[in-house]
Amino acid sequence: MKQKIRVLVAIFSPESPDSLLQQLEGFDVLSLLQGNAVDSFPAIKTLDLLLIQTSHSPEAAIAFAQGVKEYSDSSPVPILICADNKLIKQELIQIFSLDSTDVLYRPFSKILLHQKIHSLVQQRAVMDQVKGQLWELEQQVITLRKSTEQYREEIRKRSEDRKKLSKGYQIFTAVLSGIEENICVVNLQSEEVLFANQQLKTTLGFDPTGKVAQKSNVYLRNAPYLSYSQERLLNELGEPQSVICEDFFHEPTGKWYSIKNCAIRWINNEYVRLEITTDITAQKQNQLLLEQAKEEAIKANLLKDKFLSMVAHDIKSPFTTILATIRRVIKKEEKLSAIHQKLLTNSLDSGTHLLKMISELLKMGRFSSGAIIPELKTVEIFSLVNKFIFLVAEQAKKKGVTINNEIPQQTYLFVDSYLFGEVIINLLTNAIKFCGQGGEVRIYTPSTVKKLLVIQDNGVGITPEFLPDLFNCERRMTTLGTAGEVGTGLGLLYCHDIIHAHQGTLSIESVLGQGTTIYIQLPSKPIRILFVHESSLMDTKFHHYFEPLNIEFIEPATMKEAKDVLFQHPPDLAIFDVLSLRDESLQLLKKLKQTPTITKIPTIIMVGGQDRDFRKHAFQLGGDAFLHKPIEPQELLHCIQGLINLSTNS
C-alpha cells in the first residue's frame, strides 16, 4: 500500500483553516495554529512537505520560517507557501533561498494545490537520489585512486627489483669470466686427448691426456663429450670452418655445459680439435628463473589490465547512468529553480570530465603494458591533418582561433593513422585551449628537416617550471584554458607514449605569454616500391621526378627475388613491366592478391599497345592501374601518388 505524503500545515491567518484542510484530502495532514507552531520543529525532519498559510500580517509566519530554516538547514524539507500577496512571498523565499520552495496565491483550486505538493515532493526525491548516487560515485573514485596508488607503488617496486636483478646478473657474468674453463685438444682421427689444462684435470679428477676420449668410460662418466667429426670442423678444402657452439646436458653429473669446438693447427702442423667446456648449470637455472619471472610478470600485467577493465566497467556503467539521469532531469524538469539548474549542470560537467579522465588513464595503462602496438603504413599527412582540423573547427570557431595547415600536399609519413590521429587531435585541442580570442595555430613541416611535424600556437605559453615535468607520469600537470576549459593533464602523456611507440620523439618549446611549439620527429622511412622489370627504367630523368617523394625502388634480378621481397619485406607499391615476363608476372600478381597479409598492396601494370588480352587477365586478377608504354615520368609519378593516397585512406 502506497504511503501517504505527510504534510505539516502551519496556520498564520485569522480565517478558519477548514477550507484548506478539506483541499488537502488524501494527504497525511498535521495542522498547527500560531500558538503551538514552535513545538512542531522536532517533527519537521520526518515530514514530506511543510505548508505555511499566511495573510496580510506575515510577521508570525516569517518568525516561524526563520526557526524552520535554522533547524532544518542540514536536511531541508520542501515548503509550499499559501499567501495573499507577492510581498509575503518575497520575504519568505529570501529566508529559504529558493531551496525547494514554491508559492500559491489565493484563491487556488484543489487540483493546483495537489499538483504543487506532488511536484515539490518529487523534486526532493530526485535531488536525494542524485546526491546519494554522487556520494556512491565519490566512494568509487576514492577506491580507484587508492588502487592507482597501489599500482604505482607496485611499478616502483618492480622497477627496483628489475635493477637489483640486472645488477645481480652483471655480478654473475663477472664471476663466470674469472673462472678458468675446461680446455682440451683432441686428435681429429684417433680421438686421442693430446692436451688437457689443469681445470679439466681437476674437474675429471684425473689426467685424460693420452686416452681416447670417445672410448674412455671414465671420461664419458665424469665429463661431457660430443663427437665432432672432421667434416664439421673442416671445409671441402681441408681448412678450418667457424667455431661450433652447443649446449650439452651431461646426464651422469646432471650438469649443463657450453661447448665450443674449432679446428686449429697443432705441434705437428696437423689440424686438431680444440674444445673449451664451461659449466653453465647455474646460468641455465638462472635463465629458467628469468623465464618463469617473465611469465609471472606477463600474467601480472594481464591481471592488472583485466582489473583496470573491470574497474572501468564498474565505474563507467553506473556513472553513465547517473549522467543520463542528470541530463534527463535538466531537459524535462521545466520547473527547476535557477540554483537547481546550475547545480545539476555543474554535476554533469564534472562527471563528464571525470569520465574522460578514466578513459585516458586506461589508454595510458594499455600503452605502458605493451597492449597497443602501432600498425605502421605510409600515410599522406596533409589530408590526415585536414580531417582532424575539421573535427576541432567548432571549438576553434567559438574562440575565433585560426588553424592553418601549411603541410605540402603529397607529404608522407610512416605511421599508424589512427594513433597518430589521436596525437594530432590532442595537440590541436590543447593549442586551441590555450589560445586567446583571435589566436592562431600553425601545422607545418620544415623543409630543412625530414619527417618532422610542427604544431605552433601564439597562446599563453607554458610556465617554465612546468616544462621539465610535462611527460612525468608521477606529476600530472593541468591548467585551465583561456576560456576556463578543463583538462585531465593526461593528454600530453598519451601523445608522448604514442610517438615513443613509433620510435619517434615529442618535444616542446614554450615562452610564457608568446606561445608553444611542439615538435614531432619520426624515423625517416621512404616509400618502398617493388619494380619488376627486364631493363631499368630508373634513369636520371625519372629520378628527378621521384626525388620529392623520397622513394626507394627495389629492383630484383629474378622473379624469385621479387617473390621474396613481397612476402618477407612487403613494399608500399608494386610495378610490373611485363614484356616477355607475362606468365611469371601474372602468377606473382595472382599470389599477391590471394594472400591476405599483402593483398592491399597497390599494383601498376606496364603494358604495350598489343597487350589487350594480358591487360584483361591482369585486371581480373586485381591489378589496380595500367600504363601504356612509352611512359612519361609525370604520368608514372601521378599514378604512384594516386595509388598511395588510396592505400593510406583505405
- Considering the domain architecture, whether residues 267 and 393 belong to the same structural domain is answered as no
The whole-number pLDDT of residue 206 equals: 83
CB 54 within 8 A of CB 61: yes
Indicate whether 586 belongs to any domain: yes
Q: Where are the alpha helices (DSSP H) in 42-109?
A: 59-71, 86-96
- Considering the domain architecture, whether residues 485 and 567 belong to the same structural domain is answered as no
Range 267-275 average pLDDT = 83
- The x, y and z cell numbers of residue 317, run together, are 556503467
Asked which of 279, 314, 347 is the last residue of a domain, the reply is 279
Indicate whether 632 belongs to any domain: yes
pLDDT tens for each residue of 448-488 = 777 888 999 988 888 877 777 677 655 555 665 565 555 54
3-state SS, residue 488? coil
- The x, y and z cell numbers of residue 313, run together, are 566497467
Q: List the domain range (segments joined by +) for residue 515.
A: 377-521
- Considering the domain architecture, whether residues 573 and 504 belong to the same structural domain is answered as no
Report the b/e string of 393-422 with b at 16+ CB within 10 A. Answer: eebbeebebebebebeebbbbbbbbebbbb
Indicate whether 589 belongs to any domain: yes
- Considering the domain architecture, whether residues 387 and 484 belong to the same structural domain is answered as yes
pTM of the model: 0.37
| pLDDT over 70 percentage in the chain | 73
User: Residue 601: is its pLDDT beyond 80?
Assistant: yes
Measured CA to CA, the distance from residue 632 to residue 609 in angstroms comes to 15
Indicate whether 604 belongs to any domain: yes
Asked which of 108, 124, 146 is the last residue of a domain, the reply is 108
CB 190 within 8 A of CB 212: yes
- Considering the domain architecture, whether residues 504 and 630 belong to the same structural domain is answered as no
- Considering the domain architecture, whether residues 476 and 565 belong to the same structural domain is answered as no
Query: Dihedral angle at the C-alpha atoms of 493, 499, 504, 506, nearest 10 degrees?
Result: -40
- The x, y and z cell numbers of residue 425, run together, are 587531435
The whole-number pLDDT of residue 223 equals: 47
User: Residue 426: is its pLDDT beyond 60?
Assistant: yes
- Considering the domain architecture, whether residues 41 and 11 belong to the same structural domain is answered as yes
Domain CATH code at residue 39? 3.40.50.2300
H, E, C per residue of 435-461: CCCCCEEEEECCCCCCCEEEEEECCCC
User: Number of C-alpha atoms within 13 angstroms, CB side, residue 288?
Assistant: 7
Q: How many domains does the chain have?
A: 4
pLDDT tens for each residue of 560-591 = 888 888 888 888 888 887 665 677 778 888 88
- Considering the domain architecture, whether residues 385 and 499 belong to the same structural domain is answered as yes
Report the b/e string of 469-506 with b at 16+ CB within 10 A. Answer: ebbeeeeebeeebbeeebbbebbbbbbbbbbebbebeb
Range 634-649 average pLDDT = 71
* Bridge partners for 262 per DSSP: 274
pLDDT band at 233 (very low <50, low <70, confident <90, very high): confident
The whole-number pLDDT of residue 303 equals: 67
3-state SS, residue 383? helix
The whole-number pLDDT of residue 74 equals: 56
- Mean pLDDT lowest for which of 312-321, 340-349, 410-419, 592-601? 312-321
Range 326-332 average pLDDT = 78
User: Residue 56: is its pLDDT beyond 80?
Assistant: no
The whole-number pLDDT of residue 221 equals: 39
- Considering the domain architecture, whether residues 446 and 551 belong to the same structural domain is answered as no
- Mean pLDDT lowest for which of 465-469, 507-511, 646-650? 646-650
pLDDT band at 218 (very low <50, low <70, confident <90, very high): very low
User: Residue 310: is its pLDDT beyond 80?
Assistant: no
The whole-number pLDDT of residue 99 equals: 56
User: Residue 201: is its pLDDT beyond 70?
Assistant: yes
Range 109-125 average pLDDT = 87
pLDDT band at 147 (very low <50, low <70, confident <90, very high): confident
Q: What is the DSSP letter of 79?
A: E
Domain CATH code at residue 494? 3.30.565.10
- The x, y and z cell numbers of residue 565, run together, are 621481397
- Considering the domain architecture, whether residues 462 and 397 belong to the same structural domain is answered as yes
User: Residue 139: is its pLDDT beyond 80?
Assistant: yes
User: Residue 375: is its pLDDT beyond 80?
Assistant: no
Indicate whether 135 belongs to any domain: no
- Considering the domain architecture, whether residues 515 and 406 belong to the same structural domain is answered as yes
Distance set, CA 640 to CA 445, 538, 576, 630 (Å): 22, 14, 13, 16
The whole-number pLDDT of residue 245 equals: 78
Measured CA to CA, the distance from residue 196 to residue 192 in angstroms comes to 11
User: Residue 499: is its pLDDT beyond 60?
Assistant: yes
DSSP line for 489-536: S-HHHHHHHHHHHTT-EEEEEEETTTEEEEEEE----PEEEEEE-SS-
Measured CA to CA, the distance from residue 220 to residue 189 in angstroms comes to 18
The whole-number pLDDT of residue 219 equals: 43
User: Residue 216: is its pLDDT beyond 80?
Assistant: no
- The x, y and z cell numbers of residue 186, run together, are 683432441
User: Residue 346: is its pLDDT beyond 50?
Assistant: yes
| pLDDT over 90 percentage in the chain | 1
Cis status, amide bond into 570, omega within 30 of 0: no
Closest to 177 (Cα-Cα) out of 276, 278, 288? 278
The whole-number pLDDT of residue 443 equals: 92
- Considering the domain architecture, whether residues 19 and 36 belong to the same structural domain is answered as yes
Averaging pLDDT over each range in 137-146, 180-189, 329-338, which range is the top one?
A: 137-146
Indicate whether 440 belongs to any domain: yes
Range 544-555 average pLDDT = 68
Query: Dihedral angle at the C-alpha atoms of 195, 199, 204, 207, nearest 10 degrees?
Result: 40
Indicate whether 284 belongs to any domain: no
Averaging pLDDT over each range in 28-42, 58-72, 505-519, 528-542, which range is the top one?
A: 505-519
Query: Would you call 590 exposed, middle or buried from its count of C-beta atoms within 10 A (0-12, 13-18, 19+)?
Result: middle
pLDDT tens for each residue of 608-622 = 666 667 777 777 777
Sheet holding 182-187, edge to edge: 193-196, 182-187, 271-279, 255-265, 244-250
Asked which of 521, 550, 571 is the last residue of a domain, the reply is 521
For the chain, how long is the longest CA-to-CA vector? 137
The residue with greater pLDDT, 197 or 509, is: 509
Indicate whether 248 belongs to any domain: yes
The values of phi and psi at residue 325, to 5°, are -65, -45
Range 93-107 average pLDDT = 69
Cis status, amide bond into 208, omega within 30 of 0: no
User: Residue 548: is its pLDDT beyond 60?
Assistant: no
The whole-number pLDDT of residue 44 equals: 66
When the pLDDT of each residue in the chain is averaged and rounded to a whole number, the result is: 76
Measured CA to CA, the distance from residue 616 to residue 605 in angstroms comes to 11
Measured CA to CA, the distance from residue 336 to residue 354 in angstroms comes to 25
